[in-house]
Amino acid sequence: MKTPEVDLSDCNMCGICFDLCPTTFQLNESGYIEVVHLDDYPEKDIDEAIKNCRGDCIYWAESG
């Protein structure tokens, strides 16, 4: 299964990912972007976030 990941070293906290896909991307207590663990990711919304991410730091990873 593929899961979205964020490379935090390139993230500039623009907020676009959680605006476009709030089910998947959230701010954690430390103020960093966190990928929520879901059984089924909304692929289209995530692709949209990948396309619009200012830091170009969201990508799909194979897991499981």
Catalog residues that contact ligand SF4 under the rule CB under 6 A.
6, 11-17, 33, 49, 53-55, 57-58
**Smaller CB separation from ligand SF4, 17 or 41:** 17
Residue 51 to residue 24: CA distance in whole angstroms: 15
Taking the complex as a whole, how short is the minimal distance between the CB of residue 22 and ligand SF4, in angstroms? 11
**Smaller CB separation from ligand SF4, 13 or 61:** 13
Backbone angles phi, psi at 37, to 5 degrees: -80, 115
Taking the complex as a whole, how short is the minimal distance between the CB of residue 18 and ligand SF4, in angstroms? 7
CA proximity to 24, closest of 9, 5, 8: 5
